[in-house]
Amino acid sequence: MFRRSAAALLAVLALVAALAPARANAQGLSDVVLIIPFENTSSNREANWVGESFADQLSELLGAHGLRVVSSDARELAYARLRLPLTVIPSRATAIKLAQEAGATMVVLGNYEVSPRDEKTVAEVRGSARIVRVNEGRIAGKQMADGRWATHEFFFGDALTNLQSVQGKLAYQILYEQDDKLPFSQNLIVEQATKVPPKAFEAYVKGAMLPNNNPDKPAYLQNAMREYEKANPGSVYKQAAFELGQLFYAQGDGKKAAENYSLLQPADAHYAEAAFYAALAYERAGELQSALDVLLPLSTRAPLTSIYNNAGAISTKAAIAEKNPDKRAALLKQATNFLSRAVESAPEDSREGPTVRYNYAYALALEGKYPEAAEQLRAVVKVSPRHAEALFLLAKMLEKTGQAEAAAANDNEARKLLASYGKAQTEWEQSQTVSQLSVHLSGSFDHADYVASQQPATPAPGASAQDLLSKARDLYTAGHDDEALMELRNVVRVEPMNAEAYLLTGRIYMRRGELAPAISQLKASIFWDTEHKLIDAHILLGRIFLERGDRAQATAYMQSAVQIDPNNQEAIALQRELQVGIK
């Protein structure tokens, strides 16, 4: 189920959301803030987009500069839990309920009006904002000498064309209210707020607010992309690209959806959701390797049952289609690895439980692990006794393990329920294969689980990045990869630019045979290695691409490694391997 477009504006970057608590503690800003779309009090209904833009611009700016902010996804979930339409501007009391639902301690409310424009005057936006303290239930302010409570309102006003500058100044005022010793200037925040050209910004917000069936929606978003690229040649307006991806996916145009989703990078807002749906779009088009290339790296950023399931299910489909025995075995190993994680994260009686266990059993059956497959299938039919495909596959697994009576009983049930039983049974009798059965993908990105997964774990008190990294190295050396990955995630929460952490994470995924996430982590290591010390990341990427047959990329990474250290023996060995066969 898709989020409504109005809730998909400039959300806080996933990385920013993860880092905000650490920055907040450093600055003494311990509050969690929810920003509600501002209320349009003028008669100019065409200016409703301005209210949404306040909510999402302030969320991004406050989150990037010290406050912990409720993301747009989490805000939407709070609305849904209270059964409020996203278009409703809540009262103060309702806003407090929303904040409590989202775990916020502060709410920012505001209103504005936009004056009409004519030939002689420009349109202006004027209004005010207030901070409501959730626990106190009142607008923030201070106690006067006479005992009265003086509320603090933030007033703003300027030409509508300067809206983003207004929002940057307001964000600074809100931050200054919390900490009057801010280590940055107002100009810095205004500069960040105005990074998107005004015409692109307005077109994007207006387009994002429209429902998918509105014929004007794609025009607005494409215009936003054009205006942004015109002002920033060679750059992409990522938020608009995501919205276009969502639109085309909803319309069933997987090719255009994947093209727009693929424009987002791991540090971009909504990257996880974009990668999830891009993988589904590629899978539907039969491009299984492309689907895995975007989905496997996502599993490290968003450890969700649905992502593990889809990575495992698509790996299974790729294994079935693969003719090379070694590559087929590697794909099946990858499939069972991901699906076992999906099973661990989904209780038997959960919504996802039967699906992930059935998929896991399917992959185990292809590996010839019939008793293990039967064990998973028994759990499926215990919860879903009318699961026709599970009954059929269970019958065959029991048959393989010599349990004829139990096999016959399950086969009889499958015969009643499985529409394709005749074809499936004929195939089994002829080749002992089950291609008439399907693996099942999760079709919806679970925002609630994703929001929960992005809450940062708390490292041991006083633990430094180097302490955590040292522990991760020891766990890696001992072969405890899962535990090492947990420590490495804590490293990048404490020190997000730690290149060595990404390098070690890449090594772990290489050891597991999961090359797509390995490539992603090794590239991140190179990106953050500003002193160019980690030659291993270049060498490992060179070897991965050489193994994949991509000599051009392998050569590029080999050359960068040799530049760092011309005497490194591993770099020289890679260089020799690449020179083999070159005349």
Amino acid found at 85 = P
Mean pLDDT of the chain: 85
**204 located within any domain:** no
The confidence band for 200, taking pLDDT boundaries of 50, 70 and 90, is very high
Distance in angstroms (rounded) separating the CA atoms of residues 515 and 521: 10
* DSSP single-letter state for residue 58: H
- pLDDT bin (cut points 50, 70, 90) of residue 460 is low
Looking at per-residue confidence, does 97 or 532 come out higher? 97
The DSSP-derived string for 8-26 is -SSPPPHHHHHHHHHHHHH
pTM of structure: 0.65
Contact call for residues 263 and 241 (beta carbons, < 8 A): yes
Tell me: do 226 and 306 sit in the same domain.
Answer: no
Q: Which band of pLDDT confidence, cut at 50, 70 and 90, is reported for residue 120?
A: confident
The count of structural domains within the chain is: 4
pLDDT at 287 over 60: yes
Domain boundary among 396, 424, 451: 451
User: Are both 224 and 365 inside the same structural domain?
Assistant: no
Burial annotation 413-452 (CB, 10 A radius, 16+ → b, else e)? bbeeebeebeebbebbeeeeebebbebbbbeebbbebbbe
Look at residue 176 and tell me whether its pLDDT is greater than 90: no
Q: Which residue has the higher pLDDT, 334 or 346?
A: 334
pLDDT of residue 304: 87
Residues in the chain: 583
SS3 of residue 263 by DSSP: coil
Q: Which tops the pLDDT comparison, 491 or 246?
A: 246
CATH number where 232 lies: 1.25.40
> Are the beta carbons of 253 and 259 closer than 8 angstroms?
no
Interatomic CA distance for residues 572 and 257, integer angstroms: 42
Q: Is the pLDDT at 318 greater than 80, yes or no?
A: yes
Does 492 score more than 90 pLDDT? no
Pair (440, 473) in one structural domain: no
> How far apart are the C-alpha atoms of 391 and 380, rounded to whole Å?
9
What's the pLDDT score for residue 24?
A: 35
pLDDT of residue 169: 95
| Upper half-sphere CA count for residue 431 (Cβ side, 13 Å) | 8
Q: What percent of the chain has pLDDT over 90?
A: 47
Please report, rounded to a whole number, the percentage of residues in the chain having pLDDT higher than 70: 91
Shared domain check, 149 and 13: yes
Q: Based on the number of CB atoms within 10 Å of its own CB, is 163 exposed (0-12), middle (13-18) or buried (19 or more)?
A: buried
The predicted structure's pLDDT at residue 180: 76
Q: Which of 111-115, 148-152, 225-229, 480-484 has the lowest mean pLDDT?
A: 148-152
200 domain residue, yes or no? no
Q: Is pLDDT above 60 for 456?
A: no
Is pLDDT of 7 > 50?
no
Q: Where do we find the tokens 């994470």?
A: 505
Distance CA 300, CA 518 (A): 10
More confident residue, 387 or 122: 387
| Domain ranges, residue 88 | 5-195
> How sure is the predictor about 582, in pLDDT bands with cuts at 50, 70 and 90?
low
Look at residues 290, 322, 346 and tell me which one is the last residue of a structural domain: 290
CATH number of the domain that 485 lies in? 1.25.40.10
Residue 106: which of 19, 29, 50, 39 has the closest Cα?
29
Cα angle value 350/351/353 (rounded, 5°)? 60
Question: What are the structure tokens assigned to 274, written together?
Answer: 């974009």
Structure tokens given for 397: 């697994």
| Residue of 139, 142, 111, 131 lying closest to 173 (CA atoms) | 131
Give residue 28's pLDDT.
Answer: 33
Flag whether 203 is in a domain. Answer: no
Could you tell me if 314 and 274 lie in one domain?
no
Average pLDDT over residues 37-57: 89
Contacts (Cβ under 8 Å, ≥6 apart) of 139: 130, 131, 132, 133, 151, 152, 153
DSSP code of residue 38:
P
Contact assessment for residue 3 and residue 82, using Cβ atoms and an 8 Å cutoff: no
Residue 250 in domain: yes
| Residue 235 phi, psi dihedral angles, 5° rounding | -105, 165
Note whether residue 297 is domain-resident. no
CB 511 within 8 A of CB 481: yes
Helix axis angle, 186-193 to 48-64, nearest 10°: 130
Please classify residue 538 by burial: count the beta carbons closer than 10 Å to its beta carbon, then call 0-12 exposed, 13-18 middle and 19+ buried.
buried
Domain boundary residue among 290, 325, 359?
290
Which of the 8 DSSP states describes residue 6?
G
| AA letter at 125 | V
* CB-based contacts of 132, cutoff 8 Å, min separation 6: 92, 95, 96, 99, 106, 107, 108, 109, 138, 139, 140
Q: Is the pLDDT of residue 22 over 50?
A: no
Both 456 and 446 in one domain: the answer is no
CA atoms within 13 A on the CB side of 413: 19
Amino acid at 431: S
Summarised one tens digit per residue, pLDDT across range 503-514 is: 999 999 888 777
Look up the CATH number of the domain holding residue 188: 3.40.50.10610
Lowest mean pLDDT among 421-425, 457-461, 471-475, 509-513: 457-461
Do 254 and 334 share a domain, yes or no? no
CB within 8 Å of 513: residues ≥ 6 apart: 330, 333, 334
Higher pLDDT residue, 299 or 207? 207
Question: Can you give the pLDDT at residue 139?
Answer: 83
Name the band, by pLDDT with cuts 50, 70 and 90, for residue 9. Answer: very low
Same domain, 307 and 432: yes
Helix 499-512 / helix 465-477 crossing angle, nearest 10 deg: 20
Asked whether residue 202 is domain-assigned, the answer is no
Q: How far is it, in rounded angstroms, from Cα 169 to Cα 192?
A: 11
- Start-end of H helices in 65-122: 72-81, 92-102
User: Does any domain span residue 40?
Assistant: yes
* Whether residues 231 and 113 fall in one domain: no
State the pLDDT at residue 20: 36
Tell me, what's the pLDDT at 15? 30
| Residue 523: predicted pLDDT | 87
**H or E element, residue 114:** strand 106-114
What's the token pair of residue 16? 């920013």
pLDDT class of 373 with cuts at 50, 70, 90: very high
Angle at 191 between CA 188 and CA 195, to 5 degrees: 145
CA distances from 350 to 78, 151, 228, 305, 478 (A): 22, 48, 44, 11, 34
Question: Distance from CA of residue 582 to its chain's centroid?
Answer: 42
Q: Give SS3 for 154.
A: strand
Mean per-residue pLDDT, 70-77: 80
**By the 8 A CB rule, do 281 and 249 touch?**
yes
pLDDT value, residue 156: 94
187 in the same domain as 240: no
In a domain, 492, yes or no: yes
* Pair (37, 130) in one structural domain: yes
Sign (positive or negative) of CA dihedral 23, 26, 27, 33: positive
Whether 74 shows a pLDDT value over 60: the answer reads yes
Give the per-residue pLDDT at 581: 52
User: Comparing 132-146, 225-239, 478-492, 533-547, which segment has the lowest mean pLDDT?
Assistant: 132-146
Same domain for 318 and 411, yes or no, is: yes
